[in-house]
């Protein structure tokens, strides 16, 4: 809807005095807007901006206190109405976004209401007033000294001003404002702002500035004076000592503590304590020195520092004193045989030790990182009486040893229950036996009928805890001393009996189980020894053929029923040898059964002579055939007789083969060899040779030639005063252990 009216005031704008018809466009939906207030400092320039949504074909009036100062009919047309208002000149302009009016040098008289009107409706308005700038802002205190954790309350107040100032709190450069301040007005309309500030101080606030900022005119701020916060707090300490601190026992340790921060940082007092004994002060200083530290000093140590505010939290150092192992010492353990035994020892060491149990040099058991070690014997034997060795090691020291002693109560035991004692002519009688027993055994030597023998001197030697040697001796042995004795040995846990056979010395029994092994490098003989006849024996190995007689060096006796061995070298290859073993002592000698084999010829890689060998073999075969025919015709009867003779002599040699010394054999062998050299039979030579030796041996040992059982020990049948009984004892029954004696005069 449009309406027009006559405005007489329009003539003031136009010198032609023509009437101006102004049409007002009433735009539906226009609403009056609220009025805002702006403050300007005297002498400043003012520019007011009004926002309008649509100025197209709309008459817009700018008014000051309801008096028109500008008018426009569209966005590009703005007219200034010439009004003389205290010599004030207004500049109006229109843009796409709105309407603006500006003037210079704002004065107190310029205050008023500027509005934009459309169709007599105020669309937008701004009330401008003279501003009184805030001149200062002051804090309620001039210094702050407070303990950390305390609530600090401050306030800032401004000078009287208009409009009221906005106040902001700052700590360093951080805005700490959390609420608006209170505004108070005086009777002239000027206003003062008061803003409170509260904060709980922490040690990190120490040294930070606190201030206020106030502003009531855009772009102009007023700052209060700075106050530096002096926040007091207790010390904080730390230690640069390694934690945990490991060192070897006996060394010197220095524990250090330093204050990292404190306020005040003067008059610091120190205190060192053991954590487990806080009431006892060890030292008052930042450095704590412990000389010749011992294992009992291991533990936690704490240092604290104090100032006028309080005492710091403790800095704790774990002190780890390391030391070599030591092994618990206990009394000897005594148990009964067949008991279950647990040997236990505590190991004191830091760090934990690795332990090993030894029986002599034999490792029995190993355990790692232990402070207690045990060794278990499920069923203890008498032979377990010994000193075990316990070895402990750690990083401080290796191979710390201790003896763990075990004694086993047991009845007497012996290795062998039969002793054979050979007695020579005009010699003494002496024998002994080692006994294992605990406690110390008692003993008695009895004749076979149970009566006690008092004719021998006896001694008991204590070799070790449970090891004893019982020794009997008689300087001159008589024939009536021959016979069987019983050595009874006993203690509280039981008894045992040793049978002692005393007999005259004789030659050894024949070696048994002879085995011969021939190879390229030589011939190896193995045999088992027999009873030595009561006198020390040695062995010699012989190899015999028609052209060579070889023997070994003497082989010492290892004891009855022991395997012996000898090697014969430098034998001619591809020849058949006869081998036997001779056992000899001071009373004679005896030989084993005869064994034979051929020493192998070493193989040579001679490819160049293969053709010659093949040709030679063909010629040899032809020659052998011719010889066989001739010999068969001429010596058929003689050959048969020789064979029977050889076999008969061989059987005789195996029944009782004995040999004389090698020097005597050489002549006999040579003569015998000459007798049969025409026949060319090596086996026949060997058999005849053995027979010749047998005849020689029989002449030398006539007293022993009638023995049919070489394993029989003959006890003298001489009847004399004090003799007990004539007896013939098999060696298998009483020769498990024998004692070689020498003449005692």
Residues 6+ apart with CB under 8 A from 231: 146, 147, 148, 201, 202, 203, 205, 206, 207, 263
Say which range, 300-309, 526-535, 591-600, has the weakest mean pLDDT. Answer: 591-600
Which position has the higher pLDDT, 400 or 9?
A: 400
Integer Cα distance of 216 and 193 in angstroms: 10
Task: Output the DSSP codes for 350-374.
Answer: ESPEEEEEEETTEEEEEEEEESEEE
Burial code of 55-78, b = ≥16 C-beta within 10 A, e = fewer?
Answer: beebbbbbbbeeeebbbbbebeeb
**Domain 328-409, CATH number (from 3.10.450.50, 2.60.40.10, 3.40.50.300, 3.40.1030.10):** 2.60.40.10
| 266-322 tens-digit pLDDT | 899 999 999 999 999 999 999 999 999 999 999 999 999 999 999 999 999 999 999
Residue 551 clears pLDDT 90, i.e. is over it: no
Instruction: Please report which confidence band the pLDDT of residue 681 belongs to, taking 50, 70 and 90 as the band edges.
Output: very low
Residue 391 clears pLDDT 90, i.e. is over it: yes
Integer Cα distance of 134 and 111 in angstroms: 19
Task: At 364, list the tokens.
Answer: 């029995």
| 182-204 tens-digit pLDDT | 889 888 889 999 999 999 999 99
Instruction: Please report which confidence band the pLDDT of residue 481 belongs to, taking 50, 70 and 90 as the band edges.
Output: confident
Collapsing DSSP to helix, strand or coil, 731 comes out as: helix
Instruction: Please report which confidence band the pLDDT of residue 38 belongs to, taking 50, 70 and 90 as the band edges.
Output: confident
pLDDT computed for residue 68 by the predictor: 84
Q: What is the mean pLDDT of the chain?
A: 78
> Among candidates 310, 323, 500, 534, which has minimal Cα distance to 416?
500
Question: In terms of CATH architecture, what is 24-130?
Answer: Sandwich (2.60)
Q: What average pLDDT score do residues 659-676 get?
A: 36
Ranges of each domain in the chain: 24-130, 137-231, 239-323, 328-409, 512-603+648-700
| 367-382 tens-digit pLDDT | 999 999 999 999 999 9
Q: What average pLDDT score do residues 672-676 get?
A: 35
Instruction: Please report which confidence band the pLDDT of residue 674 belongs to, taking 50, 70 and 90 as the band edges.
Output: very low
**Domain 137-231, CATH number (from 2.60.40.10, 1.10.287.540, 1.20.1060.10, 3.30.420.40):** 2.60.40.10
Instruction: Please report which confidence band the pLDDT of residue 692 belongs to, taking 50, 70 and 90 as the band edges.
Output: very low
Say which range, 93-97, 114-118, 382-386, has the weakest mean pLDDT. Answer: 93-97
Residues 6+ apart with CB under 8 A from 309: 147, 148, 232, 233, 234, 262, 263, 264
Number of Cβ within 10 Å of residue 375's Cβ equals 19
Do the two domains 239-323 and 328-409 of this chain adopt the same fold? Answer: yes
Under 8 Å between Cβ of 109 and 44: no
User: Over pLDDT 70: what percentage of the chain?
Assistant: 73
Collapsing DSSP to helix, strand or coil, 558 comes out as: coil
Instruction: Please report which confidence band the pLDDT of residue 676 belongs to, taking 50, 70 and 90 as the band edges.
Output: very low
Residue 5 clears pLDDT 50, i.e. is over it: no
Integer Cα distance of 544 and 581 in angstroms: 12
Paired with 231 in beta bridges are 146
pLDDT computed for residue 345 by the predictor: 97
Instruction: Please report which confidence band the pLDDT of residue 548 belongs to, taking 50, 70 and 90 as the band edges.
Output: low
pLDDT computed for residue 685 by the predictor: 34
Residue 645 clears pLDDT 50, i.e. is over it: no
The DSSP call for residue 647 is H
Residue 688 clears pLDDT 60, i.e. is over it: no
Alpha carbon distances (Å) from 314 to 298, 300, 735:
18, 11, 85
| Single pTM value for the model | 0.53
pLDDT computed for residue 365 by the predictor: 97
**Domain 512-603+648-700, CATH number (from 3.40.50.970, 2.60.40.10, 2.70.70.10, 3.30.420.40):** 2.60.40.10
Q: What average pLDDT score do residues 131-142 get?
A: 92
Integer Cα distance of 301 and 272 in angstroms: 7
Q: What average pLDDT score do residues 98-102 get?
A: 83
Instruction: Please report which confidence band the pLDDT of residue 465 belongs to, taking 50, 70 and 90 as the band edges.
Output: very high
| 209-248 tens-digit pLDDT | 999 999 998 888 999 999 999 999 999 999 999 999 999 9
Under 8 Å between Cβ of 217 and 132: no
Q: What average pLDDT score do residues 104-118 get?
A: 85
Instruction: Please report which confidence band the pLDDT of residue 31 belongs to, taking 50, 70 and 90 as the band edges.
Output: very low
Under 8 Å between Cβ of 321 and 255: no
Integer Cα distance of 684 and 676 in angstroms: 8
Integer Cα distance of 330 and 326 in angstroms: 13
| 42-89 tens-digit pLDDT | 888 888 888 766 555 567 888 888 888 888 776 666 666 656 666 778
Integer Cα distance of 90 and 165 in angstroms: 30
Question: In terms of CATH architecture, what is 239-323?
Answer: Sandwich (2.60)
Half-sphere exposure of 410 (CA within 13 A, CB side): 22
Q: How many residues does the chain have?
A: 745
């Amino acid at each position: 809807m449009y309406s027009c009216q006559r405005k007489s005031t329009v003539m003031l704008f136009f010198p032609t005095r023509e009437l101006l018809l102004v049409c007002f466009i009433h735009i539906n939906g226009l609403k009056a807007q609220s009025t805002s207030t702006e403050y300007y400092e005297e002498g400043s320039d003012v520019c007011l901006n009004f926002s309008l949504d649509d100025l197209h074909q709309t008459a817009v009036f700018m008014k000051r206190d309801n008096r028109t100062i500008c008018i426009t009919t569209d966005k590009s047309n703005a007219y200034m109405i010439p009004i003389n208002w205290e010599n004030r000149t207004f500049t109006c302009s229109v843009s796409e976004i709105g309407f603006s009016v500006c003037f210079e040098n704002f004065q107190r008289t310029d205050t008023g209401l500027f509005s934009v009107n459309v169709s007599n409706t105020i669309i937008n308005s701004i009330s401008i007033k003279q501003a009184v700038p805030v001149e200062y802002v002051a804090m309620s205190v001039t210094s702050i000294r407070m303990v950390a954790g305390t609530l600090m309350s401050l306030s800032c107040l401004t000078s009287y001003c208009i409009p009221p100032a906005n106040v902001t709190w700052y700590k360093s450069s951080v805005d700490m404002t959390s609420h608006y301040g209170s505004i108070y007005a005086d009777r002239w309309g000027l206003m003062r702002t008061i803003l409170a500030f509260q904060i709980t101080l922490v040690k990190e606030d120490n040294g930070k500035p606190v201030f206020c900022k106030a502003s009531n005119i855009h772009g102009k701020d007023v700052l209060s004076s700075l106050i530096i916060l002096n926040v007091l707090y207790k010390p904080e300490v730390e230690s640069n000592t390694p934690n945990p601190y490991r060192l070897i026992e006996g060394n010197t340790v220095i524990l250090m503590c330093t204050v990292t921060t404190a306020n005040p940082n003067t008059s610091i007092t120190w205190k060192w304590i053991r954590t487990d004994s806080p009431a006892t002060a060890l030292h008052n200083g930042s450095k704590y020195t412990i000389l010749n530290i011992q294992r009992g000093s291991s533990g936690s140590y704490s240092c604290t520092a104090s100032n006028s505010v309080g005492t710091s939290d403790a800095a704790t150092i774990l002190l780890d004193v390391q030391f070599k192992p030591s092994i618990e010492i206990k009394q000897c353990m005594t148990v009964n045989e067949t008991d279950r035994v647990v040997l236990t020892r505590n190991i004191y060491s830091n760090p934990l030790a690795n332990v090993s149990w030894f029986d002599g040099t034999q490792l029995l058991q190993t355990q790692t990182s232990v402070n207690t070690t045990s060794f278990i014997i499920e069923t203890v034997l008498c032979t377990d009486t010994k000193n075990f060795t316990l070895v402990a090691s750690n990083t401080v020291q290796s191979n710390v040893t201790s003896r763990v002693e075990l004694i086993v109560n047991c009845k007497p035991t012996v290795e062998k229950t039969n002793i054979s004692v050979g007695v020579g002519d005009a010699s003494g009688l002496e024998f002994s036996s080692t006994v294992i027993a605990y406690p110390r055994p008692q003993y008695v030597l009895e004749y076979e009928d149970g009566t006690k023998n008092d004719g021998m001197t006896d001694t008991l030697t204590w070799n070790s805890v449970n090891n004893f040697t019982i020794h009997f001796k008689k300087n001159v042995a008589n024939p009536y001393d021959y016979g069987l004795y019983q050595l009874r040995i006993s203690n509280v846990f039981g008894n045992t009996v040793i049978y002692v056979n005393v007999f005259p010395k004789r030659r050894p029994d024949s070696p048994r189980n002879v085995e011969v092994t021939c190879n390229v490098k030589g011939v190896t003989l193995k045999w088992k020894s027999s009873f030595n006849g009561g006198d020390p024996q040695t062995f010699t190995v012989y190899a015999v053929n028609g052209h060579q007689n070889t023997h070994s060096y003497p082989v010492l006796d290892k004891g009855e029923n022991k395997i012996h061995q000898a090697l014969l070298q430098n034998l001619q290859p591809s020849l058949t040898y006869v081998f036997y073993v001779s056992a000899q002592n001071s009373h004679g000698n005896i030989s084993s059964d005869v064994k034979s084999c051929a020493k192998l010829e070493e193989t040579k890689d001679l490819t160049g002579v293969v053709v010659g060998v093949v040709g030679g073999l063909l010629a040899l075969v032809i020659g052998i055939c011719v010889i066989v025919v001739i010999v068969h015709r001429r010596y058929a009867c003689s050959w048969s007789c020789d064979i029977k003779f050889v076999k008969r002599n061989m059987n005789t040699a195996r029944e009782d083969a004995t040999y004389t010394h090698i020097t005597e054999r050489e002549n006999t062998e040579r003569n015998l060899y000459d007798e049969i050299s025409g026949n060319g039979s090596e086996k026949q030579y060997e058999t005849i040779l053995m027979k010749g030796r047998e005849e020689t041996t029989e002449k030398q040992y006539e007293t022993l030639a009638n023995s049919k059982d070489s394993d029989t020990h003959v006890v003298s049948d001489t009847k004399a005063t004090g003799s007990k009984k004539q007896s013939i004892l098999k060696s298998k029954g009483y020769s498990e252990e024998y004692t070689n004696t020498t003449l005692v005069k």
